[in-house]
Amino acid sequence: MKTLKQLLSDKQRPLAVVAPADTVFHALSVMAQNDVGALLVLDGERLVGIFSERDYARKIILQGKSSKETQVREIMSDRVVYVTPSATLDECMALMTQKHFRHLPILNDDQSVAGIISIGDLVKETISSQQFLIAELERYIAG
């Protein structure tokens, strides 16, 4: 199975981010343009939060707020759980399952942003790894 560092390097798309002062409407536009379910919220280069579809549904729609008038900082999740590139995919999966979230930021040792991983990324890699193992076992048995 690939390491988290390898999985990150395979992701070709640029990191989708917003600033705390951006409107929620702008954040939703960025999410749609990048076809992602969550954005990292950066103040300069520093991670200060994460904004997800769940934040929007629970803190804008259900509370009757306006996405064009509300800033991301007002509804983002600011207690961000993250991992470093040395974390294993199994550790990431366990953490995301235990904490009930679908996106996990990855920070380098110096706290700079290395990327973000989704539960979908982890599931896709797990399936790929299992398919490879099955093919190897079939080749061994046939051999």
- Interval 107-117 mean pLDDT: 94
- Whether 71 contacts 19, CB under 8 Å: no
Cα of first residue to Cα of last residue in the chain, in angstroms, is 23
99: left (phi over 0), alpha (psi -120 to 50) or beta: alpha
Mean pLDDT over each residue of the chain, to the nearest integer: 92
Q: What is the CATH number of the domain that holds 110?
A: 3.10.580.10
CA separation for the pair 8, 20 (Å, rounded): 25
Distance (Å, rounded) from C-alpha 134 to C-alpha 86? 26
Residue appearing with tokens 């061994």: 140
Tally of domains within the chain: 1
Give the predicted TM-score (pTM) of the model: 0.86
Transcribe 85-119 into DSSP letters: TTS-HHHHHHHHHHHT-SEEEEE-TTS-EEEEEEH
**Chain segment 1-36, per-residue pLDDT in tens:** 677 888 888 877 789 999 999 999 999 999 999 999
pLDDT band (50, 70, 90) for residue 48: very high
Note down the domain range covering 42: 4-142
